[in-house]
Amino acid sequence: MIAILLLLSFAVALVAAGFLYQWIGSYRDRIRYTRDGRWVDIGERRRLYVLEKGSGGPTVLFESGIAATNLNWHHIQETVAQFTHTASYDRGGLGWSSRAYTARTPANISVELHAMLQRAGIKPPYVLVGHSFGGLVMRRYALLYPEEVAGVVLVDPMRPEEWPPLDPAKQNMLDRGTRLSGIAVPIARCGLARLAVMSLLCRSGRLSNFLAGAAGDGGKHVLGRVKDEVSKMPREVWPVVAAHWSRPGFYTGMSGHVQAVPETVREMQDANPIIGIPVVLLTPATSSPLSDECLRRIGDSVEQIMAVDSAHWIHLDEPELVIESIRGMVTGVIAEPVAVN
């Protein structure tokens, strides 16, 4: 009986130590990694974290993929900021921003982004740049606030026809993502996620390899994909990526985005085309080019460019192609200023 009590006491102490380790780590991360940006209060207990760089105009706005943060644009933003003002941010529920209180659909996110820009004093015209899911957000923003938008750059935007409910075959993938996110929340709260991601990105990687091996082939596959994509990002942001992936809120936010995919697809499948605003669409070599009909559904002035050396993350595989596409938009706005009401 005494042995059982001692074992239980040890287990409780271990869990308590894990919670303390996570709390202290999160507190230090927030102080250490948020100094360059600021939080903008958009009302109703919501604050969005925004990072601005550069000066001049128009402002280039960056929107990340479905579970990504402003870190995805680190190198691109640093370079674009050399010739114009830029702003990247974390959507509600992700990164350093507060939790989300609405479904993570392009319309809801666009309204929040608009409120943030107004309250932050970041004035139009804007050149919108969106990757993957972020491409749908930028399309919706251009439809809601066309008078503010000078141009749009879509980096392999999400194709609604490839996802549920239009493509029910991928529903299992969404369900699995939601389920795994739910499992990860308590793991993150007790500090185990922090141990694993810090091992992967900031230390030897032995612990993360051990945990992935214990999870079987699925764990090894996920670890391999994570390593491959993160390795394309500048090393200076790896600790910040680890800080995000250590937080329970990251997995809650990711789950919210994944659960909203069917609603997002329903919202965007019949979206109106963008009229009177130039759009550049970058398609990777690993995907088939969009047909002329698909391009017309996006806008009346869409130029598709093939990224011949890229997979889905074109801004990491061929950053110069993305930078030059943005530069072309900015140059066009300067040559022909957009009237903003």
CA pair distance 129, 131, nearest whole angstrom: 7
Q: Is 305 exposed, middle or buried (0-12, 13-18, 19+ CB in 10 A)?
A: middle
Say what the pLDDT of residue 320 is.
Answer: 98
Residue pLDDT tens, the chain, 341 long: 777 766 776 667 777 888 999 999 999 999 999 999 999 999 999 999 999 999 998 999 999 999 999 999 999 999 999 999 999 999 999 999 999 999 999 999 999 999 999 999 999 999 999 999 999 999 999 999 999 999 999 999 999 999 999 999 999 999 998 998 999 999 999 998 898 888 887 766 565 555 545 444 444 444 555 666 677 888 899 999 999 999 999 999 999 999 999 999 999 999 999 999 999 999 999 999 999 999 999 999 999 999 999 999 999 999 999 999 999 999 998 877 655 55
Question: Which of 65, 111, 56 has the alpha carbon at shortest distance from 88?
Answer: 65
Residue with tokens 């640093």: 78
CA pair distance 254, 94, nearest whole angstrom: 7
CB 50 within 8 A of CB 38: yes
Query: Looking only at Cα atoms, what is the longest distance across the chain?
Result: 82
Residue 129 CA to its chain's centroid (Å): 12
Q: Outline where the chain has alpha helix (H).
A: 2-33, 74-80, 106-120, 133-144, 171-189, 192-202, 206-214, 217-230, 238-245, 248-259, 261-269, 292-298, 314-317, 319-335
Say what the pLDDT of residue 218 is.
Answer: 45
Q: Cα torsion at 316, 320, 323, 324 (round to 10°)?
A: -150
CA pair distance 158, 225, nearest whole angstrom: 19
Look at strands 279-284 and 149-155 and give their pairing: parallel
Say what the pLDDT of residue 8 is.
Answer: 73
Say what the pLDDT of residue 159 is.
Answer: 97
- CB atoms closer than 10 angstroms to residue 140: 24
CA pair distance 80, 61, nearest whole angstrom: 11
CB 243 within 8 A of CB 143: no
